[in-house]
């Protein structure tokens, strides 16, 4: 009889400010999914993009999760401590001639004819060029016309032709920062993540990440992309849209609201219950099915 794989999920916030309702909503969904499977829920601080980091934000995120009873397993994983590992994997891709230097700037790409520069699609200008010695450059991965498909637990079958949808995407930026797409793949592999629960705004990134997993001959985790929270204008709740930090004074009220937004229908008699009691109920009754095929929800 096959041994059931242990569920290992994760939450990976960026320390660019305090958690807002949208980020805590995603954290709660991932936490409940992991706990409902008697699995682990790990915490990773996505702090590679140093220009965007805010001093003290990581500690504030940890404190917020603890106040809301979302206790993670094991030690906190900081991306900034893993730079040598990212460079080693990048060198492996270089040695296999899977990446190449790109000296193109955004300004140069914006001036290309429309047929050569569709939005978000790199037309391969530098793929077969020799970059001048010492010139600032990004590193791009060579994609092809293969179809990347995966079955998302909520959004169904997702397929993408990387060459047509994205072109050769960046793995290391000109400012020498490892790009999100590569870092997240390495992190998930190093932490033995079996299931990724995150917002539907990252659905488009998943084929890129599966492509990199294939290049590195690593297994892909399962994916569940929950609908994102949006404001009245339809914009995602985020720091860029000035989403307010969650209220730390009344965690039970916030948890009740989030459970309602996650379509869990918490009973009215629990509205004033402590956060720990609410979370206990939610773990025993967690059912993500009502979120199927939803990409966005408005509070």
Two structure tokens written together for 105? 């700037």
10 is in an annotated binding site: yes
Contact in structure between 28 and 255 (CB atoms under 8 Å): yes
Q: Is 46 annotated as a binding residue?
A: yes
DSSP 8-state assignment for residue 75: P
CA nearest neighbour of 9 among 25, 36, 33: 33
What gap in Å lies between CA 273 and CA 204, rounded to an integer?
38
* Cα 19 to Cα 13: distance, rounded to the nearest angstrom: 8
What whole-number distance in Å separates Cα of residue 27 and Cα of residue 12? Answer: 9
Distance CA 184, CA 187 (A): 5
* Ligand-binding site membership of 98 (annotated): no
146 is in an annotated binding site: no
Report the alpha-carbon distance of residue 187 to residue 40 in Å, rounded.
16
Q: Is 169 annotated as a binding residue?
A: no
Q: Provide the Cα torsion 12, 13, 19, 25; round to 10°.
A: -40
Query: Could you tell me which residues come within 8 angstroms of residue 283 by beta carbon, excluding any fewer than 6 positions away?
Result: 32, 35, 36
């500690």: which residue's tokens? 59
Show the DSSP H helices in 74-175 as ranges: 83-95, 106-110, 162-165
14 labelled ligand-binding: yes
- Rounded to an integer, what distance in angstroms lies between the CA atom of residue 171 and that of residue 206? 14
13 annotated ligand binder: yes
Confirm whether residue 122 is marked as ligand binding: yes
Q: Is residue 259 within 8 Å of residue 223, measured between CB atoms?
A: no
CA distance 255 to 274: 9
Summarize the annotated binding site for L-glutamate as residue ranges: 10-14, 46, 180, 198
Summarize the annotated binding site as residue ranges: 10-14, 46, 102, 104, 122, 126, 180, 198, 239
Summarize the annotated binding site for Zn(2+) as residue ranges: 102, 104, 122, 126
Summarize the annotated binding site for ATP as residue ranges: 239
């Amino acid at each position: 009889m096959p041994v059931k794989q242990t569920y290992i999920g994760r939450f990976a916030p960026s320390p660019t400010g305090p958690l807002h309702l949208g980020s805590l909503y995603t954290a709660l969904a991932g936490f409940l999914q992991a706990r409902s499977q008697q699995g682990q829920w790990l915490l990773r601080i996505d702090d590679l993009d140093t220009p965007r980091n805010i001093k003290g934000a990581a500690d504030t995120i940890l404190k917020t999760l603890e106040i809301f009873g979302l206790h993670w397993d094991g030690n906190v994983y900081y991306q900034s401590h893993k730079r040598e590992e990212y460079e080693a994997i990048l060198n492996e891709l270089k040695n296999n001639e899977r990446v190449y230097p790109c000296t193109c700037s955004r300004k140069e790409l914006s001036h290309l004819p429309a047929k050569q520069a569709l939005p978000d699609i790199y037309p391969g200008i530098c793929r077969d060029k020799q970059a001048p010695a010492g010139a600032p450059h990004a590193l791009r991965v060579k994609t092809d016309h293969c179809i990347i498909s995966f079955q998302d637990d909520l959004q169904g079958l997702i397929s993408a032709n990387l060459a047509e949808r994205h072109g050769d995407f960046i793995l290391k930026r000109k400012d020498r920062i490892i790009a999100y797409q590569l870092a997240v793949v390495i992190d998930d592999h190093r932490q033995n993540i079996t299931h990724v629960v995150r917002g539907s705004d990252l659905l488009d990134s998943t084929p890129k990440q599966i492509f990199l997993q294939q290049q590195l001959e690593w297994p892909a985790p399962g994916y569940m992309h929950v609908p994102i929270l949006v404001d009245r204008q339809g914009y995602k709740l985020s720091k860029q849209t000035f989403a307010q930090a969650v209220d730390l004074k009344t965690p039970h009220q916030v948890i009740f609201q989030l459970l309602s937004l996650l379509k869990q229908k918490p009973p009215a008699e629990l509205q004033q219950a402590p956060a720990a009691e609410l979370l206990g109920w939610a773990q025993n009754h967690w059912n993500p099915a009502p979120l199927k095929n939803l990409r966005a929800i408005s509070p």
